Structure 1
Amino acid sequence: GCVVSSVSDFCVNPCVIGEYVGSSLVYFNCSNGCVDGACLQEGVNPSLAQYCANKVGGQDFEICDNELDDDNDDLIDCNDTDCNDQVDEGCTSNAKIPIRGLTLGLGKADVTPELLEFIRNDLKNEGVNVIQWRADYYHYQFPSHPEVSETSDTRPSLEESDVKQVLAACRDAGIYCFPGVSYFSHQGSGEDAQHRVGLLRAYPQFDITPATATKPARPTINDRSWNPYHPDLHPIIFDLTDDLLDAFEAQDFMVGLDEAYMMPTLETAEYAGTPYYQGQPYAEVYAYEYGLLHDYLQSRGVRMWIWGDELLKYDDWVERDANGNELWPSNEIMYESDTRTGNEATSPAIDIISRDNVIIADWHYIINPATPEYFASKGFDVVSSPWMRSNVALGQLNRHLNANASNAPHMKGMLHTTWVGVGDFMKAYKYGTGLSVPNDASQQVCAQGYCFTGYALGSANTFKDLMAEIRAID
């Protein structure tokens, strides 16, 4: 066949076959369409919705719902004819905002008929097409390593059977679901005396700041990290990843890599050092962990999602007065960026990590800097992630709508954050209309016999405003 050179070729010849030529993927069209990867005989004209079951690089390529791809690869990347199993801008009704999603914490107690109805009705009607479900702090029954699972009488672990119920509801609603766990950082919890949870509770030797027989670990804080250089670590991590990917039947995975407050250290006179660490700059440490996770996921045909804060240099985004003093609210980005300097800075990693098969979730909750454009200019696909301020969320949305020609292909839409369990968010969404968030957002707000946190209320109100604006664009 001839090489497809444009979308017009794709429109005329609705079935396209992709083949690897060396390391490059080249697309060929069949003049009369194809079925099961084989060209049809002359005179046969399949419809635009004809499925082409030709796997390339671990993905199926097909035409979805009579819509054409708009990301210049002349194909729509989906897994089935209803487009529910793979995120791709060609499979959405709004090409400018391809991803219209949110991230929700999911526990076993959350899986109720009310939740399934919420997904099938409310979230569908809002226009959500992606949900990233968080298995927070290893509260999942991992079949490969049950010793890592966190469970208790008051908080039992999520199981695969629970996931399947949620997955069925998402599919009914036309929503693509994929899992995520905080990897590398956020390995601690105040619930444990050593601030270790899940992985580090089961394998304390993986802690980035372990004690030795002669020297103590560095003082613990809530957000611990694992040691990326420990030789026994990643086989277990990959097993856990497989467990979740298989349960969710997903081709995307959120690994986090955010807020890495605990980084490796060399031994000092006072404290033990990080085993196997040889003093590499922190940007290299970050890039090393990123690369291991990225390459493993890519080998499975899975796209990696990360939070973007560790790749943003604080000094590049804070505003200062004539005397060099930081100005509020721009200095709020200190919580959403890399504030380290010299060899301790992680942000230089942006120039050494892979851009392929990755989406950066760029989270900002109080200000709306031009960081999506920055990530896009570096060649990364990016979504914006607001939380409890509607003006910030709508400002981020406008960045995607008004992106210039060079950045627009990388501006993928919105992933709204909640940072509460889905049950809390659901109650705030249903019963919090018209209520104000208390000054202390951790406080409970009650209405119509239901109570929920101020965090849930603020997030739900912002979510409604954001999705209403997106629907208006349609």
Structure 2
Amino acid sequence: MQTKMSLRLLLICCTLLFPVHQINAAIHPDSLLPVRGLCIEAPRPSGVDSFVTFIHRELGPRKVNTLILRIDFNYQFKSHPELRDSIALSEADVKKMVTVCKQNNITLIPQINLLGHQSWASKTHNLLKKYPEFDETPWVKMPEKYAWPNNDSLYCKSYCSRHPRVHKIVFALVDEICQVFEANTFHAGMDEVFYIGYARCRRCRKKDKAQLFADEVWRIRNHLAAANRTLWIWGDRMLDGHATGMGMWEASHNGTHPSVDQVPKDIVVCDWHYERADKSAVYFAMKGFKVVTCPWRDPLIAIEQLQDMINFRRTATPQLKPLFGGMLQTIWSPNGAFLKEFYNKPQKSSGTGGKSNTQWECFTRLFDTINQL
């Protein structure tokens, strides 16, 4: 009952904001929200058929038009087979997802984490495992049991962006994954980069961290642009965590935030905030970036963020309106776990203080509200 009332109140508010004749004049969903997206981990081979069914039955009817799949090393790379996960997607697996996305008019965007997120907890990911010389902080050893905070300030490892051989390898992966996904857009991650520009790194010492971050964005962008591809990244490293009070996760505490004025303006910024409906999309748009707002598991915050995005587009100048791109729902559990959650619909998730805030509920309510608008 409370959910229905909340949606009814939202619709009443939207009717006040948008007279009926205006809604009818802009009935196509692309006019309301050009990007209506989902970001989720790619399935493992055994889950491809279930995920294809999910795309066809759930994403298509909800008018989702953008799907970011986090691939990383979950593909049978031919350019660098040593970097494959032990169980990884085949080309045939990928083509199943490409086909169903085309059938449902969904733009498919692959993601490989570049720069940061080269490890997780006690596990080093494949790039630094096979090429430890690329490690920005090789003196930081992976713990047997991970805990935060820790003496090394270890969250996730980074590769050194100034290593002379790292880009030859990572760009080969990028090219191969974009080709097999038939993608003209690539997501490079680049969020939560805590290890960058360390004084003990002989290549990075005395280098400005914002400049190092910006230089890496430029390298990736220029490589993609040579093949007429567009770069998307997460936006947290370009926000000042101290000045905004957004903290060290959703923004930067390590000096990378001035890069917002140094990176290319033709990238797309994915602006994620999960605990509050922060208005940083306005900041990114006024800096000249196309921006999409990214919720996670709190439906009320997601609906507030949606209303903000609609209002930004409605009230913006003609110059700024195209920069407010839309909404991107993020999912951070494994692909198969989310599908199980979505279809079984558990009522509570850990870490929410007993509230019934779940990824499936956030996704469902966000897109149901979009389509009712």
TM-score range, shorter chain: 0.7 to 0.9
Q: Give the aligned partner of residue 262 of structure 1.
A: 195
Equivalent in 273, 280, 284 of residue 371 of structure 1: 280
Q: Greater CA radius of gyration, 1 or 2?
A: 1
AA aligned to 2:259 is A
**Distance in 1 (alpha carbons) for counterparts of 2:201 and 2:75:** 28
User: Could you tell me which residue of structure 1 aligns to residue 75 of structure 2?
Assistant: 140
* Higher helix fraction (1 or 2): 2
The answer to whether structure 1 residue 463 and structure 2 residue 372 are counterparts is no
Q: Deviations over 1:37-96 (max 9, x none)?
A: xxxxxxxxxxxxxxxxxxxxxxxxxxxxxxxxxxxxxxxxxxxxxxxxxxxxx9x64312
SS in 1 for 2:364: helix
The residue aligned with 2:103 is: 172
What secondary structure sits across from 1:362 in the alignment? strand
Normalised by the length of structure 1, the TM-score is 0.66
SS, match of residue 336 in structure 1: coil
Q: Within 5 Å, which residues of 2 pair with 1:17-416?
A: 93-136=29-72, 138-151=73-86, 156-192=87-123, 196-211=124-139, 219=152, 221-266=154-199, 273-318=200-245, 333-340=247-254, 345-356=255-266, 358-403=267-312, 404-405=316-317, 406-416=319-329
Q: Return the alpha-carbon distance in structure 1 between the equivalents of residues 60 and 37 of structure 2.
A: 11
Q: What is the CA–CA distance in structure 1 between the aligned matches of 2:135 and 2:182, rounded to whole Å?
A: 30
SS in 2 for 1:224: coil
Structure 1 residues without counterparts, runs of 5 or longer? 1-89, 213-217, 267-272, 319-330, 444-453
For CA contacts below 8 A with separation 6 or more, give which structure has more relative contact order: 2
Aligned positions, number: 333
Structure 1 position 437 matched with structure 2 position 312: no
Structure 2 unmatched ranges of 5 or more: 1-25, 141-150
Specify whether residues 191 and 338 from structure 1 end up closer, same or farther in structure 2 by C-alpha distance, changes over 3 A only.
Answer: closer
Which string of whole-angstrom CA distances, capped at 9 and with x for unpartnered residues, describes residues 259-283 of structure 1?
01112322xxxxxx21322411110
Q: What TM-score comes out, normalization by structure 2 length?
A: 0.84
CA contact (8 A) 2:43 2:336 kept: no
The separation in 1 between residues aligned to 2:342 and 2:46, in whole angstroms, is: 15
- Does the 8 Å contact 1:229/1:275 carry over to 2? no
Distance of 1:265 and 1:112 partners within structure 2: 40
SS of the residue corresponding to residue 460 of structure 1 reads helix
- Using the TM superposition, give the Cα deviation of residue 470 of structure 1 relative to its aligned residue in structure 2, in angstroms: 0.8
Task: Give 1:25's aligned residue.
Answer: none
What secondary structure sits across from 1:471 in the alignment? helix
Paired residue secondary structure (1:254)? strand
- Measured after TM superposition, the shift of residue 114 of structure 1 is 2.5
Q: Distance in 2 between matches of 1:211 and 1:315?
A: 28
Amino acid at match of 1:387: W
Whole-angstrom CA distance in 2 between matches of 1:315 and 1:359: 24
Residues in 2 aligned to 1:426 and 1:171: alpha-carbon distance in whole angstroms = 21
Q: Over residues 335-387 of structure 1, what are the superposed CA-to-partner deviations in whole Å (9 max), with x where a residue is unaligned? A: 200123xxxx000011111102x110000001011100110000000000000
Give the deviation of 1:113 after TM superposition: 2.9
The DSSP-based 3-state class of the residue aligned with 2:67 is: strand
Query: Following the alignment from structure 2 to structure 1, what is the Cα–Cα distance between the partners of residues 84 and 288?
Result: 37
Give how far 1:398 is off: 1.5
User: Which aligned segments of 4 or more residues in structure 1 are displaced greater than 4 angstroms?
Assistant: none
Check whether the contact 2:38–2:328 (CA below 8 A) recurs between aligned residues: yes
1: CA distance between counterparts of 2:36 and 2:236? 21
Q: Shift in Å at residue 439 of structure 1?
A: 4.0
Distance 2:43 2:340 in 1: 15
